[in-house]
Structure 1
């Protein structure tokens, strides 16, 4: 990126604690033979994370449709094991972190802090006691729905149902708050988001959601929800997936439009980055991983040129500075806000 970003942007980006709250790279890792997991991460993904300046990486555990429901828990455990093997075999470069103290230690040692997350948690069904089991294995963030319906809640593509959390979903939220596992609102349907906001007593996060005011897509969050998440002390991390940003203009400018809108609604201290690098993950996996949900009209290869993967993240810094953002505000959105939230909340029991 050194040849396409300004010297000022490159220097500022190097100073930042860049936090990416959604990269499905574990899908790519587990698509390899088990003996290749750690090596593949080091060869394929570590150089990109370093080039992009990523210092805090959330690793979602996303379970493909063919594994649901019977194989969901098995594949969940397999992906968690992959994360542990990545960390154990690459101790010089990364650390799997369970709380703010461990994150700060990793950053102080120049290592990338990895945080495990569940995306929609199909592996637990409605057995919410398994959240404690997964917490013991290092999971610290979780959502409870994807596009469709789970035993806990409905995803955003089911908004027409108007549904709220199930009884098990309410129990899951309470258990996560007890454990110090952050509740992720991304992918949750509108009724479910309303329900969580009524019940939540701890800060919330949206790991990869953009602004519905700029594009009326069910995966985006409206201004009322943005304000309510910020009111909990939480952070909204803007998704880079181009069809959630604009119907046709898939540019970094449209991404920054969403960042600026969310900042205008909730304040700069409640905004982060949740890239969801679809093109890079798809390039590393075989179907059915990360295919679009049937009936969803989003093309699987839509992406912002230059932001196909984490190596392009300095482009965001460059565009923010070009638009006149203050350096402290850029640092906040690049990752300081997520770092602060995780330091305060991650792994801290109620």
Structure 2
């Protein structure tokens, strides 16, 4: 969230990121984009929706506070309308609450939760909304999801209080923020030797917004690397057969993102690159961790690239 000069409480410029399922996003966009167009015109907020064949999408609201919360209210009302419509032919006796997720930097969640959970408890009690802060970061990011459920008014008031906490207590976020980007549907196809199928990169590129030059450059770089490593494997070049080691350092605050939950992300890098990757234990007084990569020249290069891509994703964030 970006803040301007605070005047009279929450009179600032904000950027709020909502994480929604594709069906919900489709309802907000509306037929031929009519719904989202109306929201933009009536609220004055900038509303951008991530592209790509992804099960989840990011909706970004940006602008002055009044515009942001006008747009936010219209989105909540739309979700509530959808719930009411789904109840028309339902046998359920009670209407389920409106539920949505906002995405925030993990470094700001501590202030939001408060010592012993006191702050999040205060927000729940004062707004009447149910609020749950995810314990784990979203995949390939340093952000966490906050799930909010309740009535329209309770959710709006809850989000306002969350914004106040993050703007007044912990703004700006600490360290490097790697934004969450939903992945496209489908799984990568792996070749022998750890090379990833070109189709995976094409899908990944699609989810990185086709109309942005920086993503085009990223796609071209990945494509060149893919072709190079594939040719190395097919040609049996000596460089691929030789085994060597390479060392690099990673900031401690990014190690968790690179390792992933139960080691899922580092194992993915190992599988994709075909290299052995060992992360040294933390050293007291040091802000970095040593990472040793062992394998062929091609495997080491690809592993190093993938690790750096995870730790430097911030440079790829889209200003919408």
TM-score by length of 1: 0.24
* Larger-Rg structure: 2
Structure showing greater relative contact order (alpha-carbon pairs closer than 8 Å, 6 or more residues apart) = 1
TM-score by length of 2: 0.26
